Amino acid sequence: MNQISVNTSTLSANPNRIRSRAIRANLVAYGFMTPAIILAILFFVIPAVLVVMLSLTDLSTANFTADISLMNFVGLANYRTLFADQFVQKIFFNTVFYVLVTLSLFNIGAALLVSLLTMHVNRRAGFIYRALWLLPRITTGSVYVLLWRRIIAESPFGILNQINGWLGQPSINYAAENPWTFVILVNGFVGLSFGMVIFTSAIEAIPKDLLNASLVDGSTLLQRVRYVVMPLLRWPLLFVMTYQTLSLLTSFEQTLLLTNGGPGLYQTEVWALTAYHRALSNYFGNAQWGYGSAFAVVLVLVGVTLAVIYMRVFRFRELVSEPKIEVL
Amino acid sequence: MVTDTLVKTVSNAPQSTLPAFLLMIWRGLRLALITSIGLGLGAAALEWVLRPALQSVNVEENFTATLSALLVGFLPVSFYIAGGTAARAGRKNGWISALLAAWIVACIGYSLLTAYQVATGTGIFRQAPSLGFDLRQAEAGVEVVSVDVGGPAETAGLQVGDIITALRRDPVTADDLQSRIAQAAPEDAFRLRIQRGAEELQLTTHVGLINQTDIAAWGRGLIAALVIAAVALIIPPRFIPHLLVILALLPLLAGYLWLVIATFSQRTNGLLPIDVNGNIGGWTLANWGFLAGKNAAGSTVNILVVTLNSLIIALAMTAVSLVICSMSGYALSRMTFPGRRLFLSMTLILHGFPAVTLIIPIFFILINLGNIPIIGQLIGYNSTGGIALVMIAFELPLGVWLMKGFFDNISWDMERSALIDGASRWRTFWEIILPQIRPGLLALGIFSFIGGWNAYLIPATYSVGTGLATLPVYIRQLSGELAPVNWNQVAAVGLFQLIPIFIFFIFAQEYLLNIYAGGTKGSS
């Protein structure tokens, strides 16, 4: 109210002054935004365009140049090579397998289980457990993977094989025999904490009356979970699912450090790791930036699409709220 | 009437215990059956649906097999636990009968397992391929120590004291022969060349299956079943969540425990510290010599430079992120300007967008930035500034979104009065608003610092040589596969790197828990 009256009085007094004031306010706002805009353009907008352009060139170590005008454009040749590549099918299904299994077992399944379990113990203990689950996420990849490599190492060094020895079992070379299991475990233990925190706060927000009412009605624990908690968790579940699908699709640091796509031929290679290998870390010293970019473009497209979709679905209401202070 | 009921109750009491007892068993069996069907269906889906599907598309994995083996292995255990759980309700009528009921269910489970193993010849009742003799490595060859009566070896004519010199024509050792027999299929022929006294002859034996029933193992299994059932009966329900969470945390805890133990010992076998002679012990501080510039092997390391690199990147990230994110967060929260909606939706979309997919083109951006005169050296490819800049950018959407959320949540009365009093927007922001969102700044600051301190992928990708190595990159180089790795040395550097992380972890768990879930809680 106050504001409007101020505005109208100044408007009637001097229209030119109010317009120049508005322009100045806009300039101030852009001033505040400038650093972020520059960074976003430099490291998001230009790269997103550039990756598509690179994927249309045959840029490799042999004809390396950082100048776009000197690059040799070859049309869709990289994409044709990509679809003809005999290992692409394997890498694609590796990725599907990895994302689906890790997502369902850890990022959602175990996350939900851990948040339900830690809410059924006393507050302090539950908090400590949840904090402990955060450790893999805040430990740097190379140390975290180092721990796992020692867990699965061969006898006499590995912890698992030490237990095998106590039980009279032979030593197993887990890294060679069961690489996928540990790729999934290593990534799953990191990914779990995201869903855990979201689910915990969502469950905490469930009105206690509902749970009490179901208790009075004589429900069992499983019934309460199925009919009271789960329906109210639908949106958090969907959110975690989409968000984590995307992060699993594109994260490859742990896999790079643990198996680097091996030990068999492309045995644990996922799509994002392939893009990285082709373009930035090639065994043969021949970096194929053009071909690697073709792999990356596929991920960028999936990433943008999913990001747009779920931000539309999940955050749109918050987005449209207008700021509280108008121009003064 | 009253006496009638009393008499009825008393006379009913002894009779009603038997049905109650049977009811406990019935409930236990029902629970076990339901769990088993669930586990069985899970294993079947893995074995007959997922695994063939994955095989048909060339995914080489043992994960489904491992998981289904775990599920099947848990089948008998589910009987023991179900027996104990179902009997829990009957504890108030008498501990003995409840325990008995639990054990009966457990025994039914165990006898089913035994019957299965006998029928299929697996597990404790497995039948192993054998030739029916005992061997010992002698100087001349493999000596036959004893021959089973009626076994394949005796049938073929082997005698005690024979020396086996070769299998077909290949010389053979005792271990080698044993392992070949263990891998053989029934009726496989073994042509053995034998030295008997001065005479040399050749005998052909056929592998037979011999029961290797291990009664002691069967007894141990039974005791384990009874113990599990008893524990499931006795354990208070409120301990069960603790138990499950700790069980799931075990690999992590073991890993971190190893890190601490390994740091202070010469070598480790599993979780045991050992010295050079292989005895338990061997505590040492030699692994920490890298702090003074010498590693355990005695060669020099420049840990100071590496630590400084990490520290510079982390601090630069913290400072710059805080300034940039709070500025744009403030503008998005408190100002209207053309394009605000666009910026907001961009922030949101980038918040979800995985920036790591842009790692290839950013390589070219950095190379081109390096060509800018004067500042190019600072922010180009293979420079600390460039690495920090990329990481700040990757973190930008989350930071801006988080900061906007914090600004949205504070009252704008003070700000308004400052503006009315004629303070500039910048001054209001810097002197009035920023002090009010200290918790937000702290949260984002910790997040940025940890991000910079832990950075592996970006520094490893956008730098060459060791001059710009950060601690995580250095740790990776130490634990590379090419040279023999001194794991305890690596562990020491790893623990050193973890010190600030652990400090933040202990003092700022709450912030961390919120912010690592994408700042969803901090913003609303």
Provide φ and ψ at A313, rounded to 5°: -75, -40
Provide, as residue numbers in chain A, all residues whose Cβ is less than 8 Å from the Cβ of B331. Answer: 29, 32-33
pLDDT reported for residue A306: 81
- For residue A4, is pLDDT > 70? no
pTM: 0.80
Contact B471, B310 (CB under 8 A): yes
- For residue A328, is pLDDT > 70? no
pLDDT band at A9, cuts 50/70/90? very low
- For residue A5, is pLDDT > 60? no
pLDDT band at B482, cuts 50/70/90? low
Interface test with A, best of B274, B364, B475 (most A CBs within 10 A): B364
Per residue in A68-86, pLDDT tens?
A: 777 777 778 788 888 888 7
3-state helix, strand, coil in chain A (%, to 5): 75, 0, 25
CA distance B515 to chain A (A): 9
Contact B337 A146 (CB under 8 A): no
Contact B193, B200 (CB under 8 A): yes
Query: CA B390, B395, B396 angle in degrees (round to 5)?
Result: 95
Paired with B269 in beta bridges are B272
Contact A72, A58 (CB under 8 A): yes
Contact B349 A307 (CB under 8 A): yes
pLDDT band at B289, cuts 50/70/90? confident
Half-sphere exposure of B130 (CA within 13 A, CB side): 16
Contact B460, B476 (CB under 8 A): yes
Burial class (CB in 10 A: 0-12, 13-18, 19+), A7: middle
- Residues near B349 by beta carbon (within 8 Å), at least 6 away in sequence: A304, A307, A308, A311
- Whose CA is closest to A25, among A297, A291, A325? A325
Q: How far is CA B448 from each of CA A324, B281, B352, B355, B390, rounded to the nearest angstrom?
A: 29, 40, 18, 16, 13
Paired with B395 in beta bridges are none
pLDDT band at B323, cuts 50/70/90? very high
Contact A38, B365 (CB under 8 A): no
Scanning B392-431 for CB atoms below 8 A from A yields 392-394, 396, 400, 412, 415-416, 419-420, 425-426, 429
CB atoms within 10 A of CB B377: 13
Per residue in A262-303, pLDDT tens?
A: 787 788 888 888 888 887 775 556 778 888 888 888 888 888
ipTM: 0.81
Q: B95-120 vs B63-87: helix axis angle to the nearest 10?
A: 150
Provide, as residue numbers in chain B, all residues whose Cβ is less than 8 Å from the Cβ of A253. Answer: 456-457
- Residues near B331 by beta carbon (within 8 Å), at least 6 away in sequence: A29, A32, A33, B337
Q: How far is CA B393 from each of CA A41, A109, B192, rounded to the nearest angstrom?
A: 10, 32, 72
Q: B303-334 vs A15-40: helix axis angle to the nearest 10?
A: 150
pLDDT reported for residue B324: 92
Whole-angstrom Cα distance, residue A187 to residue A259?
12
- Whose CA is closest to A262, among B481, B125, B449? B481
Q: What is the rounded average pLDDT for all residues in chain B?
A: 80
**Residue B290 in contact with partner chain A when CB distance is under 8 A:** no
Per residue in B91-123, pLDDT tens?
A: 777 788 888 888 888 888 888 888 888 888 777
Provide, as residue numbers in chain B, all residues whose Cβ is less than 8 Å from the Cβ of A309. Answer: none
pLDDT band at B481, cuts 50/70/90? low
Q: Which residue has the higher pLDDT, B466 or B190?
A: B190
Helices (H) and strands (E) in chain A, counts: 18, 0
Provide, as residue numbers in chain B, all residues whose Cβ is less than 8 Å from the Cβ of A2. Answer: none
Q: Which residue has the higher pLDDT, B369 or A1?
A: B369
Half-sphere exposure of A285 (CA within 13 A, CB side): 0
Interstrand relation of B127-130 and B142-147 (parallel, antiparallel or unpaired): unpaired
pLDDT reported for residue B305: 80
Contact B54 A93 (CB under 8 A): yes
Per residue in A97-141, pLDDT tens?
A: 899 899 999 999 999 889 888 888 888 888 888 888 888 888 888
Whole-angstrom Cα distance, residue B156 to residue B59?
46
Contact B330, B400 (CB under 8 A): no
Contact B504 A151 (CB under 8 A): no
Contact B363 A289 (CB under 8 A): yes
Provide, as residue numbers in chain B, all residues whose Cβ is less than 8 Å from the Cβ of A138. Answer: 450, 454, 501, 504-505, 512, 516
A91-99 average pLDDT score? 89
Cα torsion B90, B92, B96, B102: sign: positive
Structure-token match 């291990």, residue found: B214
Instruction: Using DSSP, state whether B193 is helix, strand or coil.
Output: strand
Searching chain B, which residue's CA lies closest to the CA of residue A267?
B60
pLDDT reported for residue B130: 76
Provide, as residue numbers in chain A, all residues whose Cβ is less than 8 Å from the Cβ of B344. Answer: 319
Whole-angstrom Cα distance, residue A253 to residue B73?
33
pLDDT reported for residue A102: 92
Burial class (CB in 10 A: 0-12, 13-18, 19+), B244: middle
Contact B361 A47 (CB under 8 A): yes
Provide, as residue numbers in chain B, all residues whose Cβ is less than 8 Å from the Cβ of A185. Answer: 251
Scanning A143-172 for CB atoms below 8 A from B yields 143, 146-151, 156-159, 161-163
Whole-angstrom Cα distance, residue B511 to residue B519?
9
Contact B358 A66 (CB under 8 A): no
pLDDT reported for residue B2: 44
pLDDT band at A323, cuts 50/70/90? low
Q: How far is CA A172 from each of CA A155, B78, B384, rounded to the nearest angstrom?
A: 8, 27, 42
pLDDT band at B524, cuts 50/70/90? very low
| String of DSSP letters for B130-183 | E-SEEEEE-SSSEEEEEE-TTSHHHHHT--TT-EEEEETTEE--HHHHHHHHHH
Searching chain B, which residue's CA lies closest to the CA of residue A28?
B425
Contact A280 B360 (CB under 8 A): yes
Interface test with A, best of B50, B357, B507 (most A CBs within 10 A): B357
Whole-angstrom Cα distance, residue A88 to residue A93?
9
Contact A251 B354 (CB under 8 A): yes
Whole-angstrom Cα distance, residue A147 to residue B145?
46
**Residue B306 in contact with partner chain A when CB distance is under 8 A:** no
Per residue in B22-49, pLDDT tens?
A: 888 888 888 888 988 999 999 999 888 8
Largest CA distance in chain A: 93
N residues, chain B: 524
Scanning B198-257 for CB atoms below 8 A from A yields 238, 241-242, 244-245, 248-249, 251-256
Whole-angstrom Cα distance, residue B378 to residue B394?
19
Q: How far is CA B38 from each of CA B33, B34, B75, B229, B409, rounded to the nearest angstrom?
A: 8, 6, 10, 20, 48
Structure-token match 């029916």, residue found: B132
pLDDT reported for residue B348: 76
A160-186 average pLDDT score? 82
Contact B117, B212 (CB under 8 A): no
Whole-angstrom Cα distance, residue B246 to residue B253?
9
- For residue A7, is pLDDT > 50? no
Cα torsion B271, B276, B280, B281: sign: negative
CA distance A260 to chain B (A): 11
Paired with B199 in beta bridges are B196
- For residue B201, is pLDDT > 70? yes
Contact A289 B327 (CB under 8 A): no
Whole-angstrom Cα distance, residue B292 to residue B310?
18
Structure-token match 């002090």, residue found: B435
**Residue A133 in contact with partner chain B when CB distance is under 8 A:** yes
- Residues near B57 by beta carbon (within 8 Å), at least 6 away in sequence: A89, A90, A93
Provide, as residue numbers in chain A, all residues whose Cβ is less than 8 Å from the Cβ of B270. Answer: 156-159, 161-163
Structure-token match 């599993």, residue found: B270
pLDDT reported for residue B320: 92
B205-221 average pLDDT score? 78
- Residues near A18 by beta carbon (within 8 Å), at least 6 away in sequence: A7, A10, A11
Scanning B436-495 for CB atoms below 8 A from A yields 450, 453-457, 461, 471-473, 475-476, 479, 487, 490-491, 494
Paired with B196 in beta bridges are B199
- For residue B295, is pLDDT > 70? no
> What is the separation of C-alpha A22 from the centre of its chain, rounded to a whole number of angstroms?
40
**Residue B20 in contact with partner chain A when CB distance is under 8 A:** no
Paired with B268 in beta bridges are B273
CA distance A80 to chain B (A): 20
Cis peptide before A156 (omega within 30 of 0): yes
B244-272 average pLDDT score? 86
> What is the separation of C-alpha B469 from the centre of its chain, rounded to a whole number of angstroms?
28
Tokens in use for B324? Answer: 């940039």
Q: How many CB pairs under 8 A join A and B?
A: 346
pLDDT reported for residue B11: 42
CB atoms within 10 A of CB A28: 18
Contact A275, B356 (CB under 8 A): no
Scanning A174-203 for CB atoms below 8 A from B yields 177-178, 180-181, 184-185, 189, 193-194, 197-198, 201
A307-325 average pLDDT score? 62
Scanning B130-169 for CB atoms below 8 A from A yields none
Q: Which residue has the higher pLDDT, B514 or A26?
A: A26
pLDDT reported for residue B17: 64
pLDDT band at A10, cuts 50/70/90? very low
CB-nearest to A148 from B255, B358, B509 is B255
CA distance B470 to chain A (A): 11
pLDDT reported for residue B15: 46
Per residue in A14-24, pLDDT tens?
A: 777 777 877 88
**Residue A89 in contact with partner chain B when CB distance is under 8 A:** yes
pLDDT reported for residue B8: 45
| String of DSSP letters for B251-290 | HHHHHHHHHHHHHTBSEEETTEEE-TTS-B--B-SGGGGG
Contact A246 B354 (CB under 8 A): yes
> What is the separation of C-alpha B228 from the centre of its chain, rounded to a whole number of angstroms?
25
Least confident of A54-63, A147-156, B295-304, B326-335: B295-304
Interface test with A, best of B59, B62, B407, B457 (most A CBs within 10 A): B59
Q: Which regions of B261-372 does DSSP assign to beta strands (E)? A: 267-269, 272-274
Percentage of the residues of chain B whose pLDDT score is greater than 90: 3
- Whose CA is closest to B410, among B331, B515, B334? B334
Contact A76, A95 (CB under 8 A): no
